[in-house]
Amino acid sequence: MTDQRPTLADVARVAGVSRATASRAINGAYGTSEAVRQRVRAVAAELGYEPHAVAQALASGRASAGRRERVEVLIVDPDPAALSVKPFYGRVLTGALRALGDRDIALEVRRVVTLPAPDDDPPYGRLLINVPGAAGSAYAHRGRVVALGRSAPGVAFVAPDNDGGGHQAAVHLVKTGRKRVGAVFGPPTPCAQERRDGFLRVFSGAAQPVTAADGDFTYDRAYEAARELLERDPHLDAVFAACDVTAMAVLRALRETGRRVADDVAVVGFDGSALAEAADLTSVYMPVEDEAAAAVEHLLDPARPAPPRLPTTLTVRGSS
């Protein structure tokens, strides 16, 4: 027997939890169940562990220099203006804040061009956006992680019915009599691929194939792609845009080339953002706020099952 005082690591080891969980349990921080708190505190009492007063205040956020628990929204997007020009991200933050409510948990936003390596001091939870599969798997081993959209096997995700939304857009164009259809699709991400698959399935085997170009969910690339489509087929009478930002660029290209929207060329977007409403754009609405809220709720309580695919609905406006 020694005179060495028991440490937090000793408490965590005996209680069978991580050091971070032991700290949360002892300090009453958010993120541990009542059963875990009781077990850890019982072990601490049995071992005679006494947390340092200053360290305890810092851990619980009661000191000015204390660190609050945080949820990080990690966005992979090469566009430096992404957070200001893409309504999607603002809607994500709205939903995330709604889920956090009045909990003493900070929400941090981090936009990166390429995904950094996972760190050894992860936040309480991470919400991954546009993170490719292999990278998502690496992050999943460093704390609580939920992706918006499919990422890697084993990584929990929340996503809308992208395939169904693409299908709705295509059916609408067929039913309204459009014969020469073009599309500006998105980047090689699961959500963009699902929208593409749902859209093209309607035209599978059709005599008139879809004239398609690849975009990347940015305005500049979408504008170039729309001009390419119109050069390849000047008689297009409809264009599907894989997101509303893309649709804004398509509308500009049509105006500049003298096409009348809806009369000459119908346009359908995807997102159902404020952009669609302002531009009188037919668009597939996806409940982004609900998607983000469900993801954060899963971060806060991993025992809560991830929700099924959230439904999408086509809102018809003047552009089609």
What pLDDT, on the 0 to 100 scale, is given for residue 52?
A: 52
What pLDDT, on the 0 to 100 scale, is given for residue 64?
A: 37
- C-alpha–C-alpha distance, residues 167 and 226, integer Å: 21
Q: Are residues 187 and 144 located together in one domain of the fold?
A: no
In a domain, 314, yes or no: no
Q: Are residues 136 and 181 located together in one domain of the fold?
A: no
Q: Are residues 243 and 169 located together in one domain of the fold?
A: yes
What pLDDT, on the 0 to 100 scale, is given for residue 292?
A: 96
Domain total in the chain: 3
What pLDDT, on the 0 to 100 scale, is given for residue 60?
A: 46
Binned at pLDDT 50, 70 and 90, residue 3 comes out as low
In a domain, 144, yes or no: yes
Q: What is the CATH number of the domain that holds 26?
A: 1.10.260.40
- Return the minimum-mean-pLDDT range out of 1-15, 220-234, 250-264: 1-15
Residue-wise pLDDT for 72-111, tens only, equals: 999 999 888 899 999 999 999 999 999 999 888 899 999 9
CA 232 from chain centre, in angstroms, equals: 34
Q: Are residues 136 and 210 located together in one domain of the fold?
A: no
Q: What is the mean pLDDT of residues 59-70?
A: 52
DSSP of 202-260, one letter per residue? Answer: HHTT-SS--EEEE--S-HHHHHHHHHHHHHH-TT--EEEESSHHHHHHHHHHHHHTTPP
In a domain, 21, yes or no: yes
- C-alpha–C-alpha distance, residues 207 and 210, integer Å: 10
What pLDDT, on the 0 to 100 scale, is given for residue 258?
A: 97
Helix then strand then coil, in percent of the chain rounded to 5, is: 45, 20, 40
Q: Are residues 150 and 91 located together in one domain of the fold?
A: yes
Q: What is the CATH number of the domain that holds 82?
A: 3.40.50.2300
What pLDDT, on the 0 to 100 scale, is given for residue 138?
A: 75
- Return the minimum-mean-pLDDT range out of 60-64, 91-95, 100-104, 183-187: 60-64
Q: Are residues 175 and 281 located together in one domain of the fold?
A: yes
Q: Are residues 154 and 292 located together in one domain of the fold?
A: yes
Residue-wise pLDDT for 16-59, tens only, equals: 888 777 877 877 665 667 788 888 888 888 888 876 543 444 44
In a domain, 168, yes or no: yes
Expressed as residue numbers, the domain containing 12 is 8-59
- C-alpha–C-alpha distance, residues 223 and 111, integer Å: 24
Q: Are residues 277 and 137 located together in one domain of the fold?
A: no
Which residues is 73 bridged to in the sheet?
109, 127
Q: Are strands 313-315 and 157-158 parallel, antiparallel or unpaired?
A: unpaired
Residue-wise pLDDT for 113-164, tens only, equals: 888 877 767 788 899 998 876 667 777 776 788 999 988 777 889 999 999 9
Q: Are residues 279 and 295 located together in one domain of the fold?
A: no
What pLDDT, on the 0 to 100 scale, is given for residue 227?
A: 97
Q: Are residues 186 and 267 located together in one domain of the fold?
A: yes
Residues above pLDDT 70, as percent of the chain: 89
Binned at pLDDT 50, 70 and 90, residue 287 comes out as very high
In a domain, 246, yes or no: yes
Residues above pLDDT 90, as percent of the chain: 56
In a domain, 41, yes or no: yes
Q: Are residues 99 and 200 located together in one domain of the fold?
A: no
- 3-class secondary-structure state, position 6: coil
Binned at pLDDT 50, 70 and 90, residue 63 comes out as very low
Binned at pLDDT 50, 70 and 90, residue 293 comes out as very high
Q: Are residues 74 and 144 located together in one domain of the fold?
A: yes
In a domain, 315, yes or no: no
In a domain, 316, yes or no: no
